[in-house]
Structure formats: C-alpha cells, structure tokens
Structure 1
Amino acid sequence: MIVLIYIKGLEDERFVRPLQLIANLFFEETEICMNEHPDQELVVKIDLTYEKEQIVSSAVLLAGKQEYRASYGKAVTADDEKERFKQVKNIVSHVFLHVLQDYTKITQKWGILTGMRPTKLLHKQHQAGVLAEESRRKLQEEYMITEEKVQLMERILDRQLTMVPDLYKVKDEVSIYIGIPFCPTKCAYCTFPAYAIQGKQGRVSSFLSGLHYEMEQIGRWLREKGVKITTVYYGGGTPTAITAEEMDELYELMYDVFPDVHNIREITVEAGRPDTITPEKLDVLKKWNIDRISINPQSYTQETLKAIGRHHTVEETIDKYHLAREHGMNNINMDLIIGLPGEGTAEFAHSLAETEKLMPESLTVHTLSFKRASEMTLNKDKYKVADRTEVEKMMNMAEEWTEEHDYVPYYLYRQKNILGNLENVGYSKPGQESIYNIMIMEEVQTIIGIGCGAASKFIDRETGKIEHFANPKDPKTYNERFAEYTEKKINKLDKLFS
C-alpha cells in the first residue's frame, strides 16, 4: 500500500526525495506530494523561518482530528549553495521525523540518517579534533541518533583506528577489488553480478582472459607510479566457483604483475558458497599464502536455504568449514542474515548456537534488505518475513551473543529497504578485523575495481571527493569492452596520482 503525504509549505522539489526516504522508514511505501491530492492520507505543513542567524523549521502533522507538532532551529554556516541546502534539508528532516515518530509511536534509532555509512560522520569529527563528548552531542541532537547507536559507532571507530592506526594516511595507497561474476546458483535476495556457472565454461574462460588483461595493465601502472596496495579482495559472485587450476593461474598472475605482493596487508577470497569449496581449491589458497576467506551459511535452517535458492546443505557448510581449518585457513569469516523468509527468533537462535560450535574469527550479521532487482523483491508475496519488532529482537540477540563470545564490532553499513531500519554489522575477534571492509566502508582511499561488475571508487586525495566507475555487469559485454574500461580507469588514476 502506498501512503500519500502532502507536504504543504515547501516549494523546493529538492526536498521530495529526502523526505520520502524518511517517510519510507515508517511505511512500506510512500509518495510525497507537493500539491494537495484527493487521496492523501497525511498532511504535514512545514515552515521555514529565519531568526537572527538561525533557520527554524516547524512542522504540523494532521491526521484526522489529531495534530502533532515539532520545531527545530540551527545556524546555517555554509557559503556553498550545495552544502547550504544540505544543512537546511537536515533541519527540515529533523522536524519531519519528529512528527512521524509521534504519530506512529515508532522511534527511528538512526534518526534522520538514511545513508549507508553513519561512521563516516564520526570519523570526520574525529579528524577535525572534535572532542568525543561534543561529537556525541551533535549526533544525538542534530541527527536524532539514539545513545545506543552512537555508542556502537564509537566502538567501531575505536576498533578501526586500533586495527589501522594510519587510517587517515592510506589515501596515497589503493586497494584492489577483483570481481568473479559466477555462482553455482543465484540467491533470491542477491543483486550482485552473479551468473549460474553450469554449462558456461566457455564464457568463464573468455572472462578470465579479460580479467588477466586488466590485472596486467593496472599492475603495470601501479609499478610505474610507485603506488602501494593496501588490500586485495576477491569477491563476486563466488570467486571459488571457478576451477582450482583457474584460481592457481589467477593468483600466480597477481604475484607476477602487482607490486610488492608479500607486503600487502591483507588478501581475502570469498568462498561464500560452501558447495564451491574443494580440497584442491584450499590447497591453491594455501600455496599463495591466502588464509582469509568467507564461508557463508546465511542460515542453519535447511528449509530457509532451499527457499532462498542456496543449493547446499547445512551439513555441507559445517563440513567445509572444518575442511578449511584442516587446510590451514586461520582467518575465516561467516555471514548470517537476520529476517530471511520464514525465520524468527527461534531459527536465529539456532544459527547462533551452530556458530558457537565453530567460532570463526569474524561474523558478519546482515539484516535482510529488499534490493530493487532481486527475485525476493520482485515476488514479495512469495517470501514472508518477520516484522519490525521480531527483527529488532534478532539484532539484539546478535549483539548479546557477540559480546558474550568476545567479538567486537568493527564496521557497519546500512541499506535502503532494510528490515526494521537496522544495519549490517561486522564483528571479529580483536586483531582479526578485515582491513578491506574498513577501507570500503570509510572511503579513505581509492579502490580499483577489476573484473565483471566490479565498481571502482576514485577518491581525491586532497578534497575527498568520490567518483564512481563500474565495469559492465554481464560477462558478454565485459568480454567485448574490458580494454576500453581498463584504459578509462588508468586515465582517472593518472589524474588522481599526478
């Protein structure tokens, strides 16, 4: 059902999208109308007034005979028009969120934040020398973030700076993401570049030729410019979906063409699908000194795995975990997803109990997100998921379990359409945090994406401005244009590191 909200008093169309994102935190789907609509269900009147050096926003929500009011003012200091609008938008969002919380009786723990990376706010203040107490006050008052979430952000910042003490100085280095776009099958919640590998070995071989070319050209540029690599991350898809021989050739090439591989801080290979792991592939990983891998159960309930299209068994996940241990993998990450179809607190408690038997070095707890192009989103009626209250209970269970078992939170990110307006949190044993995950979330350095569907983030070392650039998502287009995209990336790198 779409909830129509008529916003009266604001004429600037730029407010529509941010207010809609906030409204969507409360209702499944909303439409913001700047003109009165006959089918509107809520009316919110928002005024902006200038009082001395402050801009004050007031809001009145009208629902039948009920009225809910809020007012908030703050000095707007920016000279730049874009930054000035951002500050005004936050003031308006503040009162809009306030009246919606009063009306629905739902508290949004992340306040007005709808972006992916809350901890970037805290890092920015830390770099500017703002004291912790003042940072906490700003987050709670200006962004309406609850004490609980502010404390989580503070813990994560402390862990990140402990694991990477030079976090604010790695801008002169780069990290590399290598995308392998193949999986045994595609999961129902997935929107990553992932193509079922069965019967497509010819396409795999063509893709790997293009990938090798990209690695050679990027490696040559890095050597010529003397740019160091901080981390390398093989993602996808499932990088272990290709054969052991193909993996061996790929890692050998990495050592041949990338500079100073032995001093790269971390190399990770996602082996997320247990049905792709074999003794031969683990031997290849060990041969090339790669011991950080992901083996992702997502759930330890067999009916759930079947419902989301993961064609492996719970027993296979456990067996492959032990197999990886036997082959010397000593830094294993596992993923669990809160709110998968048909799952509630009982099923999640079972998944945590099974995790306790294995005790991986890190555990990433995702909250299910209905991603726009996923099978699950396109067929929502088919996939029944837990309500906000139960999802929040599951997140609390994860927090308590990780605390009891000496895991610490070290990164988080949020997504649109995430259940309960919650978050995804990476936990680890102290000292086993993934450096790549910190780099990609805090956006402190350029990340070069290589391979099908791989996205690059080019970050200006002086201004911090970010430019996104993505390779084609499907293998056919990638195979036809990998040389063109490689050249474009190198041109962008030349400008950044000139």
Structure 2
Amino acid sequence: MKRGIIHLYKIGILFQNRDFEHDVYELIKAFYPGNEIISLYEEDGADYDIRFRVSRDEEGYTISYDNGIDKQAAHGAVIEGQSSGEASDALISCDDTRRKNKDAIKYALYQMLSRVTGKTLPWGNLTGIRPVKMAMGMLESGMKNTEIARYMREQYLVSPEKTALAVTIANRERDILKNIDYENGYSLYVGIPFCPSICLYCSFSSYPLERWRKYVEDYLDALIKEIQAVSQMMKNRKLDTVYIGGGTPTTLEPDQLRRLLSAITEYFPCEELEEFTVEAGRPDSITLEKLQAIREFPVTRISVNPQTMNQETLDIIGRRHTVEQTKNAFYMAREAGFDNINMDLIVGLPGEDITKVQHTLDEVKALRPDSLTVHSLAVKRAARLNIFRDRYQEMTFENNQEIMNLTMKTAYEMGMGPYYLYRQKNMKGNFENVGYSEVDKAGIYNILIMEEKQPIIALGAGGSSKLVFDHGQRIERVENVKDVTNYISRIDEMIERKRQGIAKWL
C-alpha cells in the first residue's frame, strides 16, 4: 500500500491583483494536488519551488510562472464593462463582463499550466461544482446539444468524455424536472446528525451516537418544534420532495423514527410528493424493525450505503460494519417492501486500486439496487483523513479515468443511466460524483439541490437553507448552527432566522 516517490512542491502565488483570486488558486491547486500552496499579497522573501505572480494592467491580466529554471507567462485580455445605460442593463452588463474576464484569465492560466506540467484536466478550467447547471442553462436557452458540447470544449477546455456526460445528464434532468413548479414549490431537508462512528473522510456535522445518545430526545424535541414552525411559514407553497439525511437517520430507534416521520407527515402536505427519501445509510444502523417503521409512512426511496465492499478498506476508514452486514441490510430492505433503494460508493479510498473497485462493483451488481451514486473521494479540511494526514501518507489514493469508466460501464450493465452530477473541492483525480439510476428511479431531490431551481428549506443542526428567488436568478442562505447542544438551546433563534429570511426573500 505504499505509494511511489512523488515530489511535492512548495508553491507561492503572489496576488498583485486579486480579481478572481479564488478561481486562480483553485485551478493551480487542481494541477498540483497535494502540494503546499500559499497565497501571498506582498513579497515575503521565502524560498518556493514554484512561484506564480498575478497582476493586471490596462491591456489585461498577466500570470507568470517561475520554477527557477523555466519561466512562463500567460495573458488574459480585459473586457471593460459598460458605464452607461439603465441601472438594470448596467448590472447585466457588469455581470457579463465579469464572467468574460474570469473566463479569459482561466483560459490563459489553464493553457500555461498544461504546458508546464504536461497534464490536462478532465473538466478543463472549470473549477465550480455544478458543470451540469451550465449545460442545463444553455439547453434551456434553446441551444442544441452539439452547440453546447462545442462551447464547453472550446471555451472551457472540457474533455469530450466529460462534455458528453454533462450534456447527457442535462437532458435527463430537464425531463425529470418537467413537472416541478420552480416558482411556487420547494423541497425539505431534515438532518439527523448522529452516526454509529465517524468515518475517516467525513467532514459533515456528525456526532458518534455512543457519546451523544443522551441528546437524541432533546434534539428531536427541538427538530419537531422547527418542523411545526416552518410548516406554517411555507403553507402557501407546494412541497415537492422531502429528504431525511445526516449523519445517519437510522441511528434513531424505531419509535423515534415514527415520532419524526409522524411530525413531518402531520405538519406538511405529503400526499402529492414527487419523492420522500430516508437515507438509511450505514448498514450497521439498519434493522428490520426500523425499516418496518419507515414503511408505515409515505417514504418512496431509501439508501443503503456500503461505500466499498472490501472489508480491509471498511476497517481503515472507520465504518465499523462488515460487507455481510451491507448485504443483509439490503435484503432486509427488499423484504420490507422498498422498491427504490440507492447505494453510495466512494472511489479513491485508501489502498483501493481498480481491482478492488471492480470487486465492489461486482458485489453491488449482484444485489441489483435501483440507483447507484459514485463519489470520487474528496478530503476536506475538517476530515480526520486530512487532520491526521501524516498517519496515512504511506497509503495510495488512486482514482483515474479508467476507474470512472469502469463504474459507468457497470451502471450501464445494471440498466442505469446517469441522472445527476456534481463536483467537490479536493477530489482525487479532479473527477466528479455521478448518480446513476434505472428509469423512474432517479433521486429528484439530488437534482434540485444541485441545479438550484427552487428553495430548499433545511431543518436540524447544520442545516443550510437555500432561498431561491427572482425566477432562479438569486439565492440567499439561512444557516442553522452546527453544534447539537447549541441547536437545542437556540432553537427559537433558528426558527426566527428562517422566519425573517423567508419573509424577506420568498
């Protein structure tokens, strides 16, 4: 499990102009994953293996590269904004000008980085997490699939494979969402932040149940209070989807699940939902009694998430369940009558090469879930895998196009097609997360939260509500505190935050 010798660089980026600083930083990081990259705003005299300098003059942006041997420079032309006209026109012009300038500097930077590293990136110079949203916007504007594909390849240097994937998914998403009322509808997210144990890669607001069990009832009290209050705030809108996530919702006992689901179905109109998902998640939290409790309510979709079917990897990442438990949980869910079961997998886990990924896919294929979500490992700053990275530095973290192609091939063999996609920072191999499903088994909530078409009201500790308004052109967030004890003690404040936000923006 030891990796080969990889030379890591100390890289300094001197921002003499800070326009599009985030985009420049993220693109450089994508070409130099795992390296130490420092943003500078004045010369510091430190010794760097590679130096970048970002500046701007009347003619445009210049980004220089210097590794002590080779020097390069990239230039992006500046497009000046419109200075006259009506206020609304000026705002549109300003936004359009900013986008064009950002595109120009990223295009030039990508070309230079590709030259000096000898690499290309599958998603080209796109650094955002929603490439399909771009394709969807062009599709809705009337562009043909071929025109969208050409634009993404030429303007953003996206590979033909990823361009085809984005366009395919955009078309399927558009068809799936055709009956959703964006203007008058909304979706509901309910968070249960407890887990049997905390996985090595996890950066979510999760709390190990063993230490936090005494707070569960108080948490449910606060959550149900928020459920009741929000139901009144949103009573004039149509509820389209409900998603109960976490954490691990099935850390709740059967009676606690009934209590939660009873509150949701009592206070919200759930008779005409497009989808009602409970993320059962960890196999070691699933029992037949819990599944039977969930079945008493109009839940249409659940997840049983193995992440991997290799026991050695499960032990390394702290999942604390067995491959056999995953299989048993899946069979129990079928026995309980669930006909729409998703399974989540992660590729790029420590020590997993393509052979181990193939084993996982073979095991999952034998179970025949109705949908499959393939995540590329993304290690965020709050994850233990990053905090204690020295402990895991001898492990391989492998992901490549061959592995991604293998997951797609297996999904197709299972009768599934891709239906949603998103990206995260720090993804291994600069790839993506893709959801595959059989016909009519796609996760509608997953699409809605990525495409940002309608408000998502998030309840519970760490919930981040997205208030989408002005015909989808504006988004404001309303945040709940992450800490469980703070959420419980400050629930009235959380409710008031939502009341003010919804009254102001919706």
Which residue of structure 2 lines up, in the alignment, with residue 429 of structure 1?
438
User: What's the offset of the Cα at 1:73?
Assistant: 5.2
Q: Is the 8 A contact 1:56 1:73 kept in 2?
A: yes
User: What's the offset of the Cα at 1:352?
Assistant: 0.4
| Amino acid in structure 1 at the alignment position of 2:297 | W
1:22 to 7, 27, 51: 27
User: What's the offset of the Cα at 1:304?
Assistant: 0.9
2:50 to 42, 51, 68: 42
Instruction: Summarize the Cα distance change of 1:309–1:46 in structure 2 as closer, same or farther, 3 Å threshold.
Output: closer
Indicate whether 1:165 and 2:181 are aligned. no
Which residue of structure 1 lines up, in the alignment, with residue 474 of structure 2?
465
Which residue of structure 1 lines up, in the alignment, with residue 3 of structure 2?
none
Q: How does 1:93-172 map to 2 (within 5 A)?
A: 93-166=106-179, 169-172=181-184
Structure 1: tracts of 5 or more residues without a match: none
Q: TM-score, normalised by structure 1?
A: 0.91
Which residue of structure 1 lines up, in the alignment, with residue 102 of structure 2?
89
| Amino acid in structure 2 at the alignment position of 1:41 | D
Instruction: Summarize the Cα distance change of 1:147–1:254 in structure 2 as closer, same or farther, 3 Å threshold.
Output: same
Q: Is the 8 A contact 1:248 1:284 kept in 2?
A: yes
Q: How does 1:73-472 map to 2 (within 5 A)?
A: 79-80=90-91, 81=94, 83-166=96-179, 169-198=181-210, 200-223=212-235, 226-259=236-269, 261-383=270-392, 384-386=394-396, 390-462=399-471, 464-472=473-481
Mean Cα displacement is larger for which, 10-19 or 69-78? 69-78
Structure 2: tracts of 5 or more residues without a match: 1-7, 83-89
Instruction: Summarize the Cα distance change of 1:392–1:131 in structure 2 as closer, same or farther, 3 Å threshold.
Output: closer
User: What's the offset of the Cα at 1:45?
Assistant: 6.3
Mean Cα displacement is larger for which, 323-332 or 14-23? 14-23
SS at match of 1:263: coil
Instruction: Summarize the Cα distance change of 1:77–1:385 in structure 2 as closer, same or farther, 3 Å threshold.
Output: farther
Q: TM-score, normalised by structure 2?
A: 0.90
SS at match of 2:183: helix
Q: How many residues align?
A: 486
Instruction: Summarize the Cα distance change of 1:242–1:101 in structure 2 as closer, same or farther, 3 Å threshold.
Output: same
User: What's the offset of the Cα at 1:49?
Assistant: 7.2
Identity of counterpart residues, as a percentage? 35
Instruction: Summarize the Cα distance change of 1:238–1:45 in structure 2 as closer, same or farther, 3 Å threshold.
Output: closer
- Separation in 1, partners of 2:16, 2:97: 17
User: What's the offset of the Cα at 1:129?
Assistant: 2.2
Instruction: Summarize the Cα distance change of 1:477–1:44 in structure 2 as closer, same or farther, 3 Å threshold.
Output: closer
Instruction: Summarize the Cα distance change of 1:132–1:242 in structure 2 as closer, same or farther, 3 Å threshold.
Output: same
- Separation in 2, partners of 1:208, 1:445: 27
User: What's the offset of the Cα at 1:141?
Assistant: 1.8
Mean Cα displacement is larger for which, 33-42 or 342-351? 33-42
Q: Is the 8 A contact 2:201 2:384 kept in 1?
A: yes
Instruction: Summarize the Cα distance change of 1:128–1:34 in structure 2 as closer, same or farther, 3 Å threshold.
Output: same
* CA RMSD between the two structures: 2.3
- Separation in 2, partners of 1:196, 1:112: 39
Q: Is the 8 A contact 2:16 2:53 kept in 1?
A: no
Mean Cα displacement is larger for which, 264-273 or 26-35? 26-35
User: What's the offset of the Cα at 1:68?
Assistant: 4.7
- Separation in 2, partners of 1:248, 1:386: 43
User: What's the offset of the Cα at 1:61?
Assistant: 3.8
What's the CA shift string for 1:131-171, capped at 9, x where partnerless?
3333222212221211111111011111112222145x423
